[in-house]
Amino acid sequence: MPGRSSIGIFCKPFAMRTIRNVLDIEPGDPMKLDTTIATLTFGLLWLTAPSFAMGSGPSGPAGTVPVVTVSIMPQAYFVDRISGGRVRVLVLVGQGKDPHSYDPTPRQMAELSSSPLWLLVGADFERALRPKVAALYPKMAIVDTTGGIAYRKLEAHAHAGEKSDAAHGGGGLDIHVWLGRQAAKTMAANIRDALSTRDPAGASIYSANHDELVADIDAAWSTLARDLAPLRGKTVFVYHPSFGYLLDDFGIVQEAVETGGKEPTQKNLAALIDTARTDGARIIFVQPQFPASAAKTVADAIGGIVVEIDALAPDWLENIRRIGAALKKAAK
């Protein structure tokens, strides 16, 4: 209609300036105009988007299943288990990507328009992205699922240059919380509560599914306690220090190959090799999101091998078992 077209023509320059301001896009930025317009279009659609309501769930009419956004893939497992299919999950950091260096694409910023809820996990990128998302999509509820978690301190050599969330008390705290037993159970409870608050009709479903998940977590840890008992007091060598919460549960020490979030220097490598030899280490664990060359150097020097484990694998519970099996092998 003529009236709608004239409104669109009038609003476009203002809206483009607004999005540039929110996303810190300078005039002449290489970000293409079509992706910026896509962000604007979805942002305008958000103004008329429905609130968080389940309707009849996944079996109902198209469009009745709300989208819940999560930062990393392990969170998607928790949401899927607890929601029982009453929501669809949008994951920001996909498989094989590094949350420490993640930067959302304009397409992802546009996709967020369909999501009334974003569940945070304390990842580095969330600090910069959160205010931008809140400005673009003021109707979106943003919930920190790490609330109530007792943060461990990073090992002194690890992540010396990595930022940490000021809300969690400043530097030196380990943000890789999702692999620890108690931290995972706290996250699960926070997810249950966030879903129940926004969908009271599904609260009993969320509660029952949460309880089943917690029982599975406890069962997995009981098995790990038996299998990993020989490693108590030992040191496990990993490239990136993502496994501290899990290893702490079984009295295992985490030693990282990287230093300050960067590739180790020759001096660091030499010291690490000496430590690995002293401890009798034969396996260096690496993650697919990070380079393996330094870990391979250490493994070659000690006559060991490099084994890949992934702290960000999508099937969280199966991944816990997989990591446990790899650690059990290292104990032999």
Per-residue pLDDT tens digits for 9-23: 334 444 444 445 545
Asked whether the beta carbons of 233 and 223 are under 8 A apart, the reply is: no
Query: DSSP alpha helices (H): ranges in 199-243?
Result: 203-227
Give the pLDDT score at 28.
55
Question: Over the range 2-29, which residues count as b (16 or more CB within 10 Å of their CB) and which as e?
Answer: eeeeeeeeeeeeebbeebeebbebeeee
Residues 6+ apart with CB under 8 A from 2: none
Side-chain half-sphere of 74: how many Cα atoms within 13 Å? 26
pLDDT at residue 41 tops 60? no
Minimal CA–CA distance to 85: which of 209, 217, 212? 209
The dihedrals phi and psi of 322, each to the nearest 5 degrees, come to -65, -45
Q: What percent of the chain has pLDDT over 70?
A: 75
Asked whether the beta carbons of 50 and 115 are under 8 A apart, the reply is: no
Q: Residue 312, SS3?
A: coil
Give the pLDDT score at 11.
40
Q: With 0-12 CB in 10 A as exposed, 13-18 as middle and 19+ as buried, what is 222?
A: exposed
d(CA 273, CA 302): 7
Q: Is 172 left (phi over 0), alpha (psi -120 to 50) or beta?
A: left
Q: Residue 230, SS3?
A: helix
The region of weakest confidence among 117-131, 257-271, 286-300 is 257-271
First and final C-alpha spacing in the chain: 74
For the chain, what is the radius of gyration of the CA atoms?
22
Give the pLDDT score at 213.
99
For 123-134, what is the mean pLDDT? 95
E strand intervals along the chain: 67-70, 88-91, 117-120, 141-144, 235-238, 253-256, 283-286, 305-308
For 167-183, what is the mean pLDDT? 79
Q: Is 55 left (phi over 0), alpha (psi -120 to 50) or beta?
A: left
Asked whether the beta carbons of 294 and 239 are under 8 A apart, the reply is: yes
Minimal CA–CA distance to 180: which of 122, 113, 257, 112? 122
Structural domains in the chain, CATH included, are 45-221 (3.40.50.1980), 229-330 (3.40.50.1980)
| 131 band by pLDDT with thresholds 50, 70 and 90 | very high
User: What's the predicted TM-score (pTM) here?
Assistant: 0.79
The secondary structure of residue 69, as a DSSP letter, is: E
Q: In this structure, which amino acid lies at residue 10?
A: F
Give the pLDDT score at 283.
86
pLDDT at residue 33 tops 50? no
Q: Is 7 left (phi over 0), alpha (psi -120 to 50) or beta?
A: alpha
Asked whether the beta carbons of 93 and 7 are under 8 A apart, the reply is: no
Asked whether the beta carbons of 54 and 66 are under 8 A apart, the reply is: yes
| 190 band by pLDDT with thresholds 50, 70 and 90 | very high
Give the pLDDT score at 46.
44
Give the pLDDT score at 269.
87
- DSSP secondary structure, 76-143, as one string: HHHHHHHHTTSSEEEESS-TT--GGG----HHHHHHGGG-SEEEE---HHHHHHHHHHHHH-TT-EEE
